Structure 1
Amino acid sequence: YADGLSGIEYDNALKNIETIHTIKTAIDTGNILSYFQPIVDNRTRKIAKYESLVRLVNEGGQLLTPYFFLEVAKKGRYYSKITKIVLDNSFAALLKIPDAAISINLSLHDIEREEIIRHIFQLLDRYPEQTSRIVFELLESEDIRDIAHIQRFIQNVKHKGVKIAIDDFGTGYSNFERMLSYEPDILKIDGSLIRNIDTNEVNRNIVETIVLFAQKQRLETVAEFVENEAIYRIVTDLGVDYSQGYHFGRPELF
């Protein structure tokens, strides 16, 4: 193998090249799509918002989730293009669903990219009547270089009416002090705590603690991976405000 690459490294390099080609082709042909999964109000069981989820259609017509392409995209120049497409699709969807909010995933690394920030504010200026229906879901990360920069971005978008959610809350890295410095409006409780809450007492206790914490901080909560009625009833009884999962709907195109 060239340059001393092992067989596994060589195979991985080939797979990455193939994935990059797939990403470029999808961008060029308009096959980076946004699917939307409903999030229901637990009190009314009515749809209150949708989460925008990126999908890629490859040359064979297969629909791929981010698991198959996003990490590779992050290593190259196509990642920002995908983010911009998702932002465009998500803001456009506001006009198709006038009674619900749209929740958009942003990594903290997205916010470190000036071209992404410019694009976000261009969209906020283009849709001034709709900004109160936008939620940016931020994924916590340990390796952020400039926390003050993130805080300024959050303050600026909140000034325009945007709400901030912390995604996958309750597992992995979780610095409460730093999280609160972002002044979130919503905590999305990680699905790994929810999916077996009907059989796992420890997870139920953790979720109960998160809900009590959120209520004291006047934050709303969303349970992810609500897959059946039993789980829905438990999270509702615990005081979770919203539910998202296959029990209420799969991601779909508008």
Structure 2
Amino acid sequence: MTGGTADGMRQGCGGQCAEALPFDFTMAFQPIVDLAAGGVWAHEALVRGPDGQGAGWVLGQVTDANRYAFDQACRVRAIELASRLGTGDARLSINFLPNAVYQAEACIRATLAAAARTGFPTDRIVFEVTEGEQVTDREHLKGIFREYKRQGFLTAIDDFGAGYSGLNLLAEFQPDVIKLDMELTRGIDGDRTRRSIVKAVLSLCTDLGITPVAEGVETAAEARVLRDLGVTLMQGYLFARPAFESLVDGPDLGALA
């Protein structure tokens, strides 16, 4: 992170950001494909070490003391890289840590500044919160989602079906997108129970006006079943692996032919 970016973050966050992180990181991007349109719906930004180390290497260095600065830096880095690489009409999906957001209105300033500086449209940014992160203050998370929607961002629950709260989380606030966890999609072609669960979740999505995305799709058989159930947005190794500091503009949609 350059000095100018760090200064901008501190100003945008009301001076409450920590100083420079004690470690460096970058991003890889994995596409979410749109089978109906035959292209890329979004590119998800995934943290990586500067030499390609996995997300675990990066996240293992995040502490309570630097969590806020890391969360802010992730947003800025993702927007800057995606803008430089050129996402076209595709969206940019960014994971955020709700426990790192002390006040939604203040903590979004660095994101807005990065988008304005790079010319990245805010209506093409999706903020994902993982269901696996235990959120003790639900009202706080709802406030974050409301503010992000007010600012024109899309919101998503990642890893849906694998975390602490399940349907309770969905009952309290409805995001624009839910991403079905790979534990629900993996082997769905040979598992009647998983098909029934996913079918029920998709019915809820239809009733609530939520867009579903299937994560962790690795085989054509899984993708065909999901497509037959009505899922058109998918992500997984079947289509493309995460690309280090680059975008996959031509994912393998021929896998379903």
Same fold by TM-score greater than 0.5:
yes
After superposition, residues 171-186 of structure 1 pair within 5 angstroms as 171-186=162-177
Q: Which region of structure 1 is more displaced relative to structure 2, 191-200 or 130-139?
A: 191-200
Partner of 1:221: 212
Partner of 1:131: 122
CA contact (8 A) 1:94 1:130 kept: no
In the alignment, does 2:99 pair up with 1:91?
no
Q: Does the residue aligned with 2:69 lie in a helix, a strand or coil? A: helix
Q: 1:141 to 1:249 in 2, by over 3 A?
A: closer
Partner of 1:65: 54
* Per-residue deviation, 1:121: 4.1
* Per-residue deviation, 1:169: 0.6
In the alignment, does 2:188 pair up with 1:197?
yes
* Per-residue deviation, 1:125: 5.1
Q: Does the residue aligned with 1:73 lie in a helix, a strand or coil? A: coil
- Aligned equivalents of 1:127 and 1:148: distance in 2? 32
* Per-residue deviation, 1:207: 1.0
- Aligned equivalents of 2:196 and 2:67: distance in 1? 38
Cα offsets for 1:68-108 (capped at 9, x unmatched): 341x3332433333323321122121451121000001122
Partner of 1:53: 46
Cα offsets for 1:133-156 (capped at 9, x unmatched): 000011236753433332222222
Equivalent in 60, 65, 70 of residue 82 of structure 1: 70
Partner of 2:160: 169
In the alignment, does 2:37 pair up with 1:44?
yes
Equivalent in 159, 176, 180 of residue 150 of structure 2: 159
- Aligned equivalents of 1:161 and 1:128: distance in 2? 15
Q: Give the structure-2-normalised TM-score.
A: 0.77
Partner of 1:100: 90
- Aligned equivalents of 1:54 and 1:200: distance in 2? 32
Q: Does the residue aligned with 1:193 lie in a helix, a strand or coil? A: helix
Q: Give the letter aligned to residue 241 of structure 1.
A: T
Cα offsets for 1:173-218 (capped at 9, x unmatched): 2353443433300010001111211222211211111111111111
- Aligned equivalents of 1:144 and 1:171: distance in 2? 14
Q: Does the residue aligned with 1:102 lie in a helix, a strand or coil? A: strand
In the alignment, does 2:235 pair up with 1:247?
no
Q: 1:97 to 1:136 in 2, by over 3 A?
A: same
Partner of 1:232: 223
CA contact (8 A) 2:159 2:179 kept: yes
Q: Give the structure-1-normalised TM-score.
A: 0.77
* Per-residue deviation, 1:49: 0.6
Partner of 1:6: none
Q: Does the residue aligned with 2:190 lie in a helix, a strand or coil? A: coil
- Aligned equivalents of 1:87 and 1:43: distance in 2? 29
Q: Percent identity among equivalent residues?
A: 31
> Which has more radius of gyration?
1
CA contact (8 A) 1:214 1:220 kept: yes
May I ask how many residue pairs the two structures share in their alignment?
222
Q: Give the letter aligned to residue 91 of structure 1.
A: I
Equivalent in 97, 105, 109 of residue 99 of structure 2: 109
- Aligned equivalents of 2:186 and 2:77: distance in 1? 29
Aligned-CA RMSD value: 2.4
Specify every segment of 5 or more residues in structure 2 that has no aligned partner in the other structure, as ranges.
Answer: 1-20, 247-257
